[in-house]
Chain A
Amino acid sequence: MTTTAALPAKGVPRAGDHRWLRFTARRAGRLVVSLWVLATAAFLMIHLIPGDPVRAALGPTASAELVAARRESLGLNDPLIVQYLNYLGGVLTGDFGVSIQSGLPVAETIAQRLPATASLAVLAFVFAVIVAIPVGVAVAVATRRGRGRKLELGFAGTSVFISAIPDFLLGVALVAVFGVSLGWLPIAGRSGPESYILPVIALSLGPAAVLARIVRVEMLTVLEADFVRTARAKRLPAWRIYLSHALPNAVTATLTLAGLLLSALVVGTVLVENVFAWPGLGSTIVSSIQLKDFPMAQATVLVYGAGVLIINTIVDAALAVLDPRTTVAED
């Protein structure tokens, strides 16, 4: 993540757009390198498995001929460097190999299941942000300068408690209350919009609590800044001081953290999908590990990892737009 604390030195070039482009290009370069490291790790993953992965996948009863044939078709008998280049070439062209279990192309399964996971993660993230920012700002305003001690304690306690509950447990609790006891909402599968409600809440409540806490702390710091006093000296209405002057300055730290939360949230779908029998990549990765379907597991890990890296890059680029100082701090 970027460092933002340092203020830029004097003599900053004027053309702001230039700087942003340069910054983004540098970030994109880093993304490419990270993706390459990730792909290499995913490739090595299979070769680090103790014993023969194909034998493990097909089980001890499979005939030696079948194992040998499958090894051949997976290209596992080629020299390592050839396998590596073939793998990288395949990844670049969207060819992730063939599932050992089903014999279907892995890319097909991923294309089919990715939308369910992505929509869940994006909705949960949006929900977390929509809840956290107003709550954080409101609590900051109400508790600044030692006011509202009770509210502060209540908020701190609640947010710590909520963020301490793992998302899958929250999911189970939501299922028990709203699905089983009250019977209001579906508890499994992906059907209509209402099927999203419980998984989204389970995924986003913890991140929302953490985020709201950060927004509050950041806002409290910003509200003490000299420029807020300047804004008050301009006699702007309170909402304008909070939203237009203070909030944009709290957004850097908030967004930095939100980016981390989003990548954690993307991976958190693995657990939540298993609670709600969600037909996404999360169920796929678990079953592929259990069934030792290594090409499938390899590809899903790669997709999740790439998702995380891409999110980080997008967050950094967004930060650079919202807070021009971040680009300078990097120079």
Chain B
Amino acid sequence: MRSLRRILRTPLGIAAISLLALVLLTAIFAPILWGAQADAVDTDNILAGPSLEHPIGTDGLGRDLLLRTVVATRLSVVLALVATLVAVTAGLILGVAPFLLGRAGKVFTWLVGIAVAFPALLLALFFAVIFGTGWVGATWAIGLAGAPTFARLCQTLVAGIAERDFVSAARIGGVGRFRVLFRHVLPNIGEPLIVNATIGAGGALLSFAGLSFLGLGVQPPEYDWGRLMMDGLSGVYLNPLAALAPGVAVVIAGLAFNLTGEAAARSLGIGSVGVMSKLAALQPRRVAEASPPAPDEVLAVRDLHVTFPGGAGPITPVRGVDFTLRRGEVVGIVGESGSGKSLTALAIAQLIEEPGRVDAETLRFLGTDLRDGDHRRLLGTSLAMVFQDPMTSFNPAKRMGGQLAEVATQHHGMTRRQARARAVDRLAAVRIPDAEQRARQYPHEFSGGMRQRAMIGMGLMGSPKLIIADEPTTAVDVTVQRQVLSLLQAIRDQDEVAILFISHDVSVIAELCDRVLVMYAGRIVEDLPVAQLDQAQHPYTRALLAAVPDMQTDLDAPLATVPGRPVDPAHVPPGCAFAARCPLADAHCRVEDPQLVTSAPGARVACWHAGEPLPDPIAAPARDIEGTTQTGPTTRTSPTTRTSGVQVVV
């Protein structure tokens, strides 16, 4: 009953149950009400067409076809239900056999495996040969034909239950297989079995109509929908409705069972598909304003916003990002997950898809305004992307060489052969051994490190001026991380390529980058040269740095983290977004949002209390807070010096 109420909560469920109730009520009452009338012979009205008296005409004995179609509901539905019962029972026996019989039961699994390969209708015909024509034979035939499907279902369900702890416990406790079956297994597979039996009943109804239509099922003087269709087809030239009306009845009744089963499956399963969020009307917020580009500028971003529609209005995970990138400059963006750093990267690369939208005052790449128009060629040749997960970022169904080569055929007008040669050359350039042979392989034949290098190689098919690397070292192990970082560094040194490197790991950024942008809640809160990381002004930056373990970290103490939780982009508080987690925050911080302002040459910070000493070490008991004061670097290890030591190793 509880299940029924849950089904009735959805519109589909209500419609399905109502339809099913209608079908069942008709099956019960129609023969009582109209049974005699439907058999009344009227020799004056033989094979009449549709009329007021007989809306869909009469049959060869002048009997009213509409009444016969309605009355046939009972036999059609009852036979379908009996056949389903046969199918479920036989399926259950076959399905639990492997569980009861142990190894000997494997034979059943094997036979069922072969039997399910055959369509049910073929199996029904097979059994129809044995049982002969007539409704008894047809019921057995359709029931047994459905058995393999249910057997497979039962096997799967039983196998799932049998592995659970309580079943194992019962078995170890010496409870017999039969007892375990009835006490533990069957009660647990009842619900899915009933749901599937309901769907199966719809199928049985159609199959029965099919067999009767072929003349193998119900025989005169009995009649079901299939039989009525068969009789109607012979007179199709005179009265097509005679064949169609029972067919429509079959479809309606079949749908009633099917939909009820589906609705039950959906409401009893793992929730329903959530209502799609409404697409809020978003006003474009763009002011045309262009400052002249600096001579070596690669990328200029001003007031970048990324917005998605959400259930309760638009969500803006990136809220006004400003920065520029010069030739050969390596800039890192660091921040926790959800800070908007990856979306910033995707927005710059024009890879945000609808319904997300990108707004900016300036979004200029190599002097070209990216905000309007199609810049596919420019972006395809001069901007390279490296994504986080090298496992999933290549197309598993295409060979590596082809995936690289298509960049060149697409954008450089190369022939397939030239492009292939270039691809092999690029794979070699990113230190893939046996590049010629490797190019013929599929991504799953590459190791993780090779894939990530190949991804960079793909970016080098053109002559990129900017590489955007979105967490390229997050999904790989430390050795691969080294390879990736040193490769990017080599590329920068060789061709003066600018790199925008996104990571949540400050130490990786410190190792590779010239400058670091710290993002929090969709904004840049601090922008400073990596060499000055130890003079970071923003409390958030300082907290991030404090969270990096180094050689001085007391390994017995708990690992330091930034206390508190990141801001949910759907609920950005007024004032400074970091205020709730900030040890320096005061009332002013919670009301007014600090702007990103220049704090020192080449450094910007957005904080009302920039550089003020922190009240006590933030969640980093084992560390000095020397890096967090404004007194400048001491002789002690700072993240920069530590990681530059690592660079030597590379």
Contacts and interface: CB of A to CB of B under 8 A. Distances in A.
B407 interface: yes
Contact of B214 (A166, A232, A270, A312): A270
Contact of A234 (B210, B214, B216, B406): B406
Contact count band on A: 35 or more
B237 interface: yes
Contacts of A290: 133, 215-216
Interface stretch (A59-67, A82-90, A129-137, A293-301): A293-301
Nearest to A247: B397
Contact of B392 (A12, A56, A226, A298): A226
Contact of A176 (B132, B213, B215, B236): B236
A80 B277 CA distance: 68
A229 B394 CA distance: 9
B365 to A, nearest CB: 13
Contacts of A270: 121, 125, 214
Contacts of B240: 172, 175-177, 180-181
B397 A248 contact: yes
Interface string B236-258: 11001101100100110011001
Interface string A289-331: 1101010011001001100110010000000001111001000
B129 A168 contact: no
B380 A234 contact: yes
A292 B137 CA distance: 14
B376 A235 contact: yes
Contacts of B384: 233
Interface stretch (A69-77, A143-151, A190-198): A143-151
A286 B229 contact: no
Interface in B123-172: 125-126, 128-130, 132-133
Contacts of B175: none
A244 B129 CA distance: 48
Contact of A45 (B126, B277, B458): B126
Contacts of B380: 234-236
A19 to B, nearest CB: 11
A37 B250 contact: no
B368 interface: no
Contact of A8 (B118, B247, B444): B444
B445 interface: yes
Given A166-B210, A166-B250, A298-B129, A305 B122 contact: yes
A37 B407 CA distance: 52
Interface string B373-405: 000110110001101110011111110000000
B377 A235 contact: yes
A239 B129 CA distance: 52
B480 interface: no
A289 B354 contact: no
Nearest to B246: A169
B236 A172 contact: yes
A111 interface: no
Nearest to A261: B119
A13 to B, nearest CB: 9
A187 B351 CA distance: 54
B387 A230 contact: yes
Interface string A259-272: 00001101110110
A42 B101 CA distance: 27
A229 B393 contact: yes
Given A232-B351, A248-B398, A249-B396, A166 B447 contact: no
A173 B354 contact: no
Given A234-B406, A263-B119, A146 B355 contact: yes
A275 interface: yes
A41 B126 contact: yes
A113 to B, nearest CB: 16
Nearest to B378: A235
A249 B247 contact: no
Interface string A201-241: 00000000000000000000000011101111111110010
Contacts, number: 198
Contacts of B442: 324-325
Contacts of A266: 119
A45 B132 CA distance: 12
Interface string B219-246: 0000000000100110011001101100
A147 B384 CA distance: 29
Contacts of B237: 180
Interface in B403-440: 406-407, 410-411
B353 to A, nearest CB: 6
B214 A267 contact: no
Interface string B109-122: 00100100111011
B489 interface: no
A18 interface: no
Given A175-B236, A322-B397, A323-B397, A164 B255 contact: yes
B279 interface: yes
A195 B458 CA distance: 54
Contacts of A176: 236, 240-241, 243-244
Given A146-B277, A180-B237, A173 B244 contact: yes
B195 interface: no
A181 B258 CA distance: 32
A42 B129 CA distance: 10
Given A236-B410, A308-B119, A7 B444 contact: yes
A26 interface: no
Given A164-B254, A227-B392, A308-B122, A169 B353 contact: no
Contacts of A230: 385, 387, 393-395, 455, 458
A65 B138 CA distance: 32
B206 interface: yes
A275 B226 CA distance: 12
A166 B251 contact: yes
Contacts of B241: 176
Nearest to A177: B240
Find the residue from B119, B129, B133 having the highest chain A CB count within 10 A.
Answer: B129
Given A308-B119, A308-B122, A286 B214 contact: yes
B394 A227 contact: yes
Contacts of B557: none
B276 interface: yes
Contact of A226 (B209, B389, B411): B389
Given A234-B406, A308-B117, A172 B247 contact: yes
Contacts of A289: 125, 128-129, 132-133, 216
A256 interface: no
B441 interface: yes
Contacts of B351: 229, 232-233
A230 to B, nearest CB: 5
B129 A147 contact: no
Interface string B354-367: 11000000000000
Interface of A: 7-8, 10, 12, 14, 34, 37-38, 41-42, 45, 48-49, 56, 145-147, 149, 164-166, 168-169, 172-173, 175-177, 179-181, 187, 225-227, 229-237, 240, 244-245, 248-249, 251, 263-264, 266-268, 270-271, 274-275, 285-286, 289-290, 292, 294, 297-298, 301, 304-305, 308-309, 312, 322-325, 328
Q: Which 6 A-B pairs have the closest CB atoms?
A: A235-B380, A176-B240, A169-B247, A233-B385, A226-B392, A235-B376
Given A176-B236, A235-B379, 14 more contacts: A12-B445, A164-B258, A172-B233, A172-B243, A173-B244, A230-B395, A233-B349, A244-B406, A267-B119, A274-B214, A286-B215, A286-B216, A289-B125, A312-B117
6 contacts: A176-B244, A234-B407, A234-B410, A267-B125, A289-B133, A323-B397
Interface of B: 111, 114, 117-119, 121-122, 125-126, 128-130, 132-133, 206, 209-210, 213-216, 229, 232-233, 236-237, 240-241, 243-244, 247, 250-251, 254-255, 258, 276-277, 279, 349, 351, 353-355, 376-377, 379-380, 384-385, 387-389, 392-398, 406-407, 410-411, 441-442, 444-445, 447, 455, 458
